[in-house]
Amino acid sequence: MPINPPNLLSTARLQLRRPQAEYAPQVLHAYAQDSEVTRYLCWRPHQSLDDTLKAMEKRLQEWESGSEFPWFIFERSSDQLVGSITARMEGHRVNLGYVLSRSVWGQGYMTEAVVAVTSWAFSLPEIYRVWALCDVDNAASARVLEKVGMTREGTLRQFGVHPNISAKPRDCFSYAITRDEFVG
């Protein structure tokens, strides 16, 4: 059965919006070209708006295909784009990935966004598990996952390639929460 995710998820401080091509300049400025923000990601910093436009086109295609649902994160008070979060559909599981502008690190925004997407995922009767990975050196991301109630299930050795650190696969922590554990 096709999944019809909401175009908008709202929290107390954030709006998570369906991708729009017009967001590309904001994405580039907010985080896509920042080598510190992209340090633990699986893609290199964007060098130009063209790089961001190509990535945006991919995001739009993923949404239309139903394989992944990315939302762009906006501060409600300023309407500023500050990050993105993606739900990758995997049968009875949802895998999360996210990125946040350095200008708003430490304000709890990503925790708020992860709770919103996890709540949406568990509203789907077929979803029983939400999970995410993070590089073993990415303490901030690990804290986000722990704050939302995810359990570190283990270390996946030489699992993720983070080209901004090394071409060699790196160890990643695997975190998850089940429908029965989630309190939202």
pLDDT of residue 183: 86
Single-letter code of the amino acid located at 154: G
Report the CATH fold assignment for 8-178.
Aminopeptidase (3.40.630)
Mean pLDDT on 65-80? 96
Where is average pLDDT lowest: 64-68, 81-85, 147-151?
64-68
Q: Count of alpha carbons within 13 Å of 1, Cβ hemisphere only?
A: 7
Task: Give the side-chain half-sphere CA count within 13 A for 22.
Answer: 2
- Domain segments of the chain as ranges: 8-178
For the residues 102-117, what does the mean pLDDT come to?
98
What number is the average pLDDT over the span 72-90?
A: 97
Q: What are 2-44's pLDDT values in tens digits?
A: 788 999 999 999 999 999 999 999 999 999 999 999 999 999 9
pTM value?
0.95
Beta carbons of 104 and 75 less than 8 angstroms apart: yes
pLDDT band per the 50, 70, 90 thresholds, residue 1: low
Average pLDDT, the chain: 96
Residues in the chain: 184
